[in-house]
Structure 1
Amino acid sequence: MNLSYWEIKSWFTNIDYTIIGSGIVGLNCALHLKEQFPKAKILILEKGMLPQGASTKNAGFACFGSLSEIIEDLKTHTEDEVFQLVKKRVDGLQLLRQSLGDQAINYQNYGGYELFLKDDGLLETCLSKREHVNNLLQPIFKKDVFSIKPNSFHFKNIKEKYIFNPFEGQLDTGNMMEALLQKTQSKGIKILNNITVESFSEDAHSVKIKTNALEFSTSKLFIATNGFASQLIKEDVKPARAQVLITKPIKNLHIKGTFHLDKGFYYFRNIDHRILFGGGRHLDFKGEETTAFAQTELIQNKLESILKRVILPETPFEIEQRWSGIMGVGSQLLSGQKNTIVKPLGNHVYCGVKLGGMGIAIGSLIGKELAQLSL
């Protein structure tokens, strides 16, 4: 790269903290570092034109887990571990809302609904354990989280009862990331896009970073690349692609809220008179263990089929757009290892990765915890 004296001096000299990844975790890490060290020179490196991964590609659910997901977690975690998982997500959402403000992220508290397919016995399991889970979560919410509601949205081919959660909300992902980027840059934190970190090496006093453009040194390095972490570090985190589609605007759309189906493997919501619908990773776990942004016929056809049969059975619709995002999960996710990885990797290198599909809920908190490691 043909860099001038001025460019090297201003952007790549005497850097105190370098963060890889400009998603929710990376930006929050930078903000908390700046709060702790106001005079520090902080640089964020982002390989995409916009934040890659899942921060700008998620469905915008401000959620902490459906009833069936929590019941699943109780099979492989202790009650205290599940309590702490939920509490962390609730605290993280609160931190996000306090940091940016509900108006800036267009936060709407329409509540969350869990639907159950007709040929599935999952509703009965949820009803039998609902009271137990409500009691478990009582200290967090001070009242019952999960109640029963009738099928008021007139979805088809499902059981005629929903599980309802009044504490769940939705937000505008684009507004959220725009507000977060603006806040970060207003503090004098530099963000460079379209720059890929290829490797790094640590010596006694600093970290040398090799990118596709140049090499430079930094006092401390923070890795916040979540689903792409395995390209740089050897930790228990692997990519998990999530595929999404969105309809064109639908006249008189009466559906409002965030909706979960099949243990949370499918999820949909209203946004701008449209239905945004994603999921289906469980149809091909191995195939979706990839960092490639793409869609597959298998999953997209299934999403469209559920849209037609369940969500919009009597409403004509057209698909306007399809995309995918890359989450970071543990290789043991199915057997219950849902804890994030926030730890030092050396004397001057730290990581905050493996958000397990809960980036909106815990990203702000993980960014703060990652910054605190430097203390």
Structure 2
Amino acid sequence: MNLSYWEYKTWLSNIDFTIVGSGIVGLNCAYYLSKKHPKAKILILEKGTLPQGASTKNAGFACFGSISEIVSDLKTHSQEEVLELVRSRWEGIQLLRTTLGDSKMDFQQHGGHELFLKENTKLFNDCSEALSNINKLLKPVYGEDAYFLHRNTFKFNNIVNQYISSQFEAQINTGTMMNSLLSLVRHSGVNILNSIAVTSFDDSQGSVKVYTNQFEFETKKLIIATNGFANELLDQEVKPARAQVLITKPIKNLQIKGTFHLDEGFYYFRNIENRILLGGGRNLDFKTEETSKFGQTELIQNRLDSMLREIILPDTDFEIERRWSGIMGIGNTKKPIVKQLSDNLICGVRLGGMGIAIGSLVGKNLADLT
């Protein structure tokens, strides 16, 4: 350590709560901690220059769940569990909207549409047959029917000529949302230190000794909110899942508007500033994409490129401007892990690719555990 007295005294002494991770969960946790414990000294440690993981690298979907995802979830979860999953997503988005305001994250409710490939008409038929029952199941959340059939108005190619759509799905600007959250949390008196990686901790002495790549210090409570990187610090049932994303350069007269899913949610795209943002393809190679390393693979990028040419923009010239990846946290169930692990250790991880939808609620629930 090479900390001055001033550095240690100002930033690293008498810490009441330390949060690992400045993503949507960590920031919301800090915000609600500051409201619940207004005199507490709260510190966030972030290993990246900007928030890592998925919070600043996602596609910007509200993400309540496409129809085929709901159908798939009902095969592995009870109806009550699926209802609660969707309810938590809906309530999480409303909480985020209340906390920030729609303008601070450019919230736009253009609706969502699921596309079905021509070679997968069975999935379309299965989802169509399930429409009535799923609308009935989810009516307590939305208050009205969530899903309906919709003709192919955007003229996508090589798909069944109907979508299954939802009026409730929405999109946000991930960058402005996170920047607004960072500003809100800092204004609440929370310190955020970037480029600080927590390597280990010891909570056996009544407080928690935290070891980082730069220094050591003690905190009364430690809260782990690192989602896809959780298994680097915790022994919990969560594993990383990489999501690869690309965005085109601006396209003249682009008419596509809304959020779109394909193939049980494994592919997703949307409009943003006359561009198409497209991501997914993890199902092409689950094993390789079970990683906490950022990067792209030729297999998935080629598939994303071909989907743009053959399905989304079949008669339109386009160029790719940028490619990136994010790291999600997933497990055998879609229910997030939010629990107290010891007197001084709490975690909120495994958001299952639904971080925008449930991150605010998970963060608030973490604060409620203190």
Does the pair score TM above 0.5? yes
1:329 aligns with 2:330: yes
Task: Tell me the residue number matched to 2:45.
Answer: 45
Query: Aligned AA for 2:341?
Result: L
Q: Is 1:349 paired with 2:342?
A: no
What CA distance in whole angstroms lies between the structure 2 residues aligned with 1:305 and 1:248?
A: 16
1:318 alignment partner in structure 2: 319
Question: CA separation in 1, counterparts of 2:363 and 2:41?
Answer: 18
List aligned pairs for 1:177-216, cutoff 5 A: 177-216=178-217
Deviations along 1:305-345, whole A, 9 cap, x unmatched?
A: 01100000000000000000000001x2xxxx111000111
1:292 — aligned with what? 293
CA-to-partner distance for each residue in 1:96-133, whole Å, 9 max, x for gaps? 11100000100001000000000102110011110000
Q: Does residue 94 of the first structure (1) align with residue 94 of the second (2)?
A: yes
The match for 2:80 is 80
Query: Residue 302 of structure 2 aligns with which residue?
Result: 301
RMSD value over aligned CA atoms?
A: 0.6
Report the Cα offset of residue 219 of structure 1: 0.3
Structure 2 residues not aligned, in runs of 5+: none
2:77 counterpart letter in structure 1: H
Write the distance in 2 (CA, Å) between the matches of 1:366 and 1:271: 27
> In the aligned structure 1, how far is the partner of 2:17 from the partner of 2:150?
50
**Partner of residue 176, structure 2:** 175
1:123-134 superposed matches below 5 A: 123-134=124-135
Residue number in structure 2 paired with 1:221: 222
| Structure 1 Cα separation of the partners of residues 258 and 209 of structure 2 | 47
- Match of residue 373 from structure 1: 369
Which letter maps to 2:232? Answer: Q
Three-state SS of the structure 2 residue aligned to 1:63 is coil
Q: d(CA) in 1 for partners of 2:204 and 2:289?
A: 37
Match of 1:338 in 2: 334
Question: Once the 2 structures are TM-superposed, how far is the Cα of residue 204 of structure 1 from its aligned partner?
Answer: 4.0
Alpha-carbon shift at residue 296 of structure 1 (Å): 0.2
d(CA) in 1 for partners of 2:272 and 2:40? 40
Look up the SS of the partner of 2:244 in the other structure.
strand
Identical amino acids, percent of aligned pairs = 62
Q: What's the secondary structure of 1:170's corresponding residue?
A: coil
Q: Structure 1 residue 260: deviation in Å?
A: 0.3
What is aligned with 1:362? 358
**2 CA distance for matches of 1:216 and 1:103?**
39
- Please tell me the residue identity of whatever aligns with 1:17: F
**2:119 corresponding residue in structure 1:** 119
Aligned to 2:147: 146
Offset at 1:373? 1.1
Name the amino acid aligned to 2:310: R
Supply the distance in 2 between the matched residues of 1:13 and 1:142 (Cα, whole angstroms). Answer: 49
CA deviations on 1:131-180 (whole Å, 9 max, x unpaired) are 00000011111111101111000000000001110000000000000000
The alpha-carbon deviation at position 26 of structure 1 amounts to: 0.2
Secondary structure in 2 matching 1:62: coil
Distance 1:362 1:318 in 2: 33
Tell me if 1:234 matches 2:230. no
Q: Write the deviation string for residues 46-85 of structure 1: whole angstroms up to 9, x where unpaired.
A: 0000000000000000121001000000011111110000
Q: Deviations over 1:185-232 (max 9, x none)?
A: 001100000000000001342000000111100000000000000000
State yes or no: 1:19 paired with 2:15. Answer: no
**Structure 2 counterpart of 1:29:** 29
1:4 matched residue in structure 2:
4
Q: Aligned partners of 1:139, 1:38: CA distance in 2, in Å?
A: 36
Q: Name the amino acid aligned to 1:295.
A: Q
Instruction: Report the residue type matching 1:198 in the other structure.
Output: T
Paired residue secondary structure (2:102): coil
The AA in structure 2 aligned to 1:350 is: I
Give the Cα–Cα distance (whole angstroms) in 1 for the partners of residues 248 and 284 of structure 2. Answer: 22
Unaligned runs of 5+ in 1: none
Specify the code of the residue in structure 1 equivalent to 2:369: L
Distance 2:139 2:361 in 1: 22
Residue type of the alignment partner of 2:102:
D
Q: Following the alignment from structure 1 to structure 2, what is the Cα–Cα distance between the partners of residues 142 and 371?
A: 29
Instruction: State the secondary structure of the residue aligned to 2:351.
Output: coil
Partner-residue secondary structure (3-state), 1:323: strand
SS at match of 2:159: coil
Distance 1:145 1:218 in 2: 45
Moved over 6 A (4+): none
Q: Distance in 1 between matches of 2:339 and 2:35?
A: 20
The TM-score with structure 1 as length reference comes to 0.98
Separation in structure 2 between the aligned mates of residue 132 and residue 104 of structure 1, nearest angstrom: 36
The AA in structure 2 aligned to 1:344 is Q
Compute the displacement of 1:251 (Å): 0.2
